[in-house]
Amino acid sequence: MSGNESDTIEARLGEQEYYRPPPAFVGQANVSDPAVYERFEDFPEGFEEYARLLDWDEHWETVFDGSDPPFYEWFGGGRLNASYNCVDRHLDSYGDKTALLWEGEPGGTRRIAYQDLYRMVNEFAAVLRDVGVTKDDIVTLHLPMVPELPVAMLACSRIGAPHSEVFAGFTAPALADRLADADSRYLVTIDGYYRRGEFLDHKRKADAALEDDTVDIDTVLVFTREDELHPDTDLEDGRDVLVADRLADHHGERIDPVSRAANDILFLMYTSGTTGKPKGAQHGTGGYLSYVAGTAKYLFDIHPTDTYWCFADIGWITGHSYIVYGPLAVGATSVMFEGAPDHPHRGRVWEIAERYDVDIFHTSPTAVRMFMKWGEKHLQPYDFDFKHLTTVGEPIQPEVWRWYYEHVGKESAVIIDTWWQTETGGVVISNLPALADMKPGSVGQPMPGISPAILGGDGEEIEPGMGTAGYLVLSRPWPGMLQTLYEDDERYISEYWETFSETDSDDWHDWVYKAGDSAVLAADGYYRVLGRLDDVMNVAGHRLGSMELESAIVEVPQVAESAVAPRDHPEKGQVADAYVVLKEDAESSEEIREAVVNAVSEEIGKFARPENVEFVTVLPYTRSGKIMRRLLTEISNDRELSDTTTLEDPSVPEEIRQQVESH
């Protein structure tokens, strides 16, 4: 990172004023005593406070085992079941209370009480057993935002089978990669779902994925969105099983929750990294569940009486931790919805918030920018009343934060910005809402027990208030952290640990987790996260690796090579620009441009489509043969070019810029 870059970062953001948390919020907060920070400084015992929020079959013997860094174990010796903790244990007090409140797109609400959820989870667990799933089989789910998704997750965890949910927007090739990497033999999907008025044929993606030779699936369980099967859905005899048929055989059946060791896998969540192959972030049972239950209570401030709405998709980590496991572990009512926020009208979100009297609303800056663009007139007709608002996934610009505060929070809700990652399992940097003033654009202070730092490229710590951006690292383990990358310990070390750790040391203090983000630490101890330092992009809140897009693009026959760079976008945060070099006999054309965009839509999903395709004759290669995407990012964003001396040919970026400008 150049000094220049960090100076401009500071200049752009400027210092912001503080906002005090509203007294009415503080008065009811779960945590309003600052002593919480001291308690968690007692490492690792402080984290037992989160573990005690759960019901354990057997108490842990060791809080933390760091003897084999960076492969850590939390609450070793302890045993528990995640579905028991999210469902069964609430039945006595809250059996009739709504656990999941689902809004279907064409209308239709389902209120699923804890008692209903218990029945649904048990019956589906019985179906899983019936088709042969046993403990430790990894079950891949490819489900959209329907109640069957959390039901399937909890049913898997009930019988001790780790789940691996693949975002429904991913197409067949992306699904096939993830199925193969997880060695899954079972896939759970649905015939279709609604989006913007259309009943989409979803099962076809599974059919296509299963044609891939690397995939070895015995059984596909198919849920049905409506009473009738989607007209385009075919079922393959001997492989595809209609869940509805099997459920009829298991009506009212109860399956005892399987007691899992704290460090048994709860789930895999694939995420993008710096190479083309997605990484299977592996989360354990006891540490993860303790951490998300703890943060749901302390940070999201969920009370069992609250209606909580995390406006994300369960196909990403945010939904796993803060629609399903966290809120249900603390006995809340968690809202989920199907479809798009502007269908059938742009007031849909606020209409739902009013209808269900949502107290806590959790979303992304991209969504807030979208609401802001649509205008206040869409909010005005509705009488919603939030006490707590949050954002996640990308930096929020101070003016966007203020709009959220004024128009959504009506100046009476607390707002927290939460920084975390698929790998961290739960939020690791964010102000506890009753304990710190809000500052637009900053994520704030570390969560209790979390120990971040900002390092320069040389590994030296950058002191607070220097105004210099550096690598955001976490120097102490925490229970929500991933255990490893599924069956790839080596990559786990190289992606996250190698840069700043003494990798031959067996003392965990010498191991430092590199998040891959750059950040600035202000004199008041507040962090601002600026964005990724590697070739990972954040497109409208979706994490994408440049390499994944590039591998899709080079499948277009006329394309010789390609590099993708993020461009800042006023609403989506970032969009992808594709730089494409064509083969010698090909000429740039609208058809090829479309083929490039379609290749990404088909290989990955529509949500990843590049916004711009730039035909160029060269790409900026370093002398060691690596594409310097940083320079393309500068071109895409009209920034001054940084150091080009390590390039094979330092004049290339200027040449590319001219080619781009001439189009």
Looking at residues 436 to 465 of the shown chain, list those that interact with ligand PRX (rule: CB under 6 A).
443
Distances (CA, A) of 327 to 406, 604, 626: 26, 30, 44
Q: Is residue 538 part of the contact set for ligand PRX (CB under 6 A)?
A: yes
Q: How far is the CB of 202 from ligand PRX (least distance, A)?
A: 22
Q: How far is the CB of 420 from ligand PRX (least distance, A)?
A: 5
Cβ distance to ligand PRX smaller for residue 76 or 276 = 276
Binding ligand PRX (rule: CB under 6 A), the pick from 78, 409, 516, 653 is 516
Contact 104, 110 (CB under 8 A): yes
Contact 447, 527 (CB under 8 A): no
Q: Is residue 394 part of the contact set for ligand PRX (CB under 6 A)?
A: yes
Q: Is residue 194 part of the contact set for ligand PRX (CB under 6 A)?
A: no
Q: Is residue 480 part of the contact set for ligand PRX (CB under 6 A)?
A: no
Cβ distance to ligand PRX smaller for residue 544 or 627 = 544
Cβ distance to ligand PRX smaller for residue 74 or 316 = 316
Distances (CA, A) of 71 to 41, 277, 428: 22, 22, 19
Binding ligand PRX (rule: CB under 6 A), the pick from 79, 195, 362, 543 is 543
Q: Is residue 529 part of the contact set for ligand PRX (CB under 6 A)?
A: yes
Binding ligand PRX (rule: CB under 6 A), the pick from 97, 532, 569, 639 is 532
Q: Is residue 273 part of the contact set for ligand PRX (CB under 6 A)?
A: no
Q: Kindly indicate which of the ranges 233-241, 312-320, 562-570, 608-616 contains the residues binding ligand PRX, using the contact rule CB under 6 A.
A: 312-320
Cβ distance to ligand PRX smaller for residue 341 or 393 = 393
> Whole-angstrom Cα distance, residue 155 to residue 267?
12
Contact 224, 244 (CB under 8 A): yes
3-class state of residue 128 by DSSP: helix
Cβ distance to ligand PRX smaller for residue 361 or 419 = 419
Strands (E), 412-541: 414-418, 452-455, 470-474, 484-485, 513-521, 527-532, 536-539
> Whole-angstrom Cα distance, residue 50 to residue 55?
11
Distances (CA, A) of 433 to 87, 294, 301, 370: 27, 14, 8, 25
Cβ distance to ligand PRX smaller for residue 122 or 538 = 538
3-class state of residue 411 by DSSP: coil
Give me the residue label for tokens 């060691």: 624
Number of residues that bind ligand PRX (CB under 6 A): 23
Q: Provide the H-helix boundaries in 265-363.
A: 286-298, 317-319, 326-329, 348-356
Pairing of strands 265-271, 163-165: parallel
Q: Is residue 517 part of the contact set for ligand PRX (CB under 6 A)?
A: yes
Q: Is residue 620 part of the contact set for ligand PRX (CB under 6 A)?
A: no
> Whole-angstrom Cα distance, residue 397 to residue 549?
27
Mark 227-266 with x for binding to ligand PRX (rule: CB under 6 A) and - for no binding. ----------------------------------------
Contact 421, 474 (CB under 8 A): no
Contact 278, 271 (CB under 8 A): yes
Mark 482-511 with x for binding to ligand PRX (rule: CB under 6 A) and - for no binding. ------------------------------
Looking at residues 411 to 430 of the shown chain, list those that interact with ligand PRX (rule: CB under 6 A).
417-422
Q: How far is the CB of 300 from ligand PRX (least distance, A)?
A: 13
Binding site for ligand PRX (CB under 6 A): 271, 316-318, 392-395, 417-422, 443, 515-517, 529, 531-532, 538, 543
